[in-house]
Homo-oligomer: A and B are copies of this chain.
């Protein structure tokens, strides 16, 4: 007998509620990666997933709440797909490379059907002040900050020239990723190789150890 089944009688309902929430958000991140956060509507999700509209409103409240929950769900997927595997590499140059390689794979593998969820959503909301833009800017700061910190760790390990501006190098390296993601979606076939080469050359120009 399932141990949890003997606990509070509300547990079953809570579990079913969590499952519904996860089902909705799994679909929402995929829709938003192609059609944007504006493409999310409670009515559409309810129809597609065969859930009552009032039930969804109970879970998510407003459309903006649904959008913010979708951003949190995408952030969790990004953490699992890109950040956690890369953090298993040794701190230093190996981790910088692992982060960038994992990002390229996350985009080219189409973890989201519309490529990088955040590139799509950030361009959609960057010029529209509010809670959605703020939530996306936080994710962007976290990501750029993580690359910069990893570069600083590589500097501390004597693998990257200590005179290099880590934030500037992080800016450059990330730029190649976003460009490859967009141009691949637009139909160019050579852009992931280009981005990988740009990153390799850029890192080689600042590393103090042989490749």
Contacts and interface: CB of A to CB of B under 8 A. Distances in A.
Given A124-B123, A205-B205, A136 B172 contact: no
B168 A128 contact: no
A123 B14 CA distance: 38
Q: How many copies of this protein are present in the complex? A: 2
A197 interface: yes
Interface in A70-124: 113-115, 119-120, 122-124
Interface stretch (A16-24, A28-36, A54-62): A28-36
A124 B126 contact: no
B194 A171 contact: yes
B182 A171 contact: no
Contact of A179 (B128, B133, B171, B194): B171
Main secondary structure of the interface of A (DSSP, over half): helix
30 contacts: A34-B128, A36-B36, A36-B38, A36-B124, A113-B127, A114-B126, A114-B127, A115-B126, A115-B127, A120-B123, A122-B182, A123-B123, A124-B124, A126-B182, A133-B186, A140-B183, A167-B194, A168-B197, A168-B198, A171-B191, A171-B194, A171-B195, A171-B198, A172-B198, A174-B179, A175-B176, A175-B179, A175-B198, A178-B178, A178-B179
Interface of A: 33-36, 38, 113-115, 119-120, 122-124, 126-128, 133, 136-137, 140, 167-168, 171-172, 174-176, 178-179, 182-183, 185-187, 191, 194-195, 197-198, 205
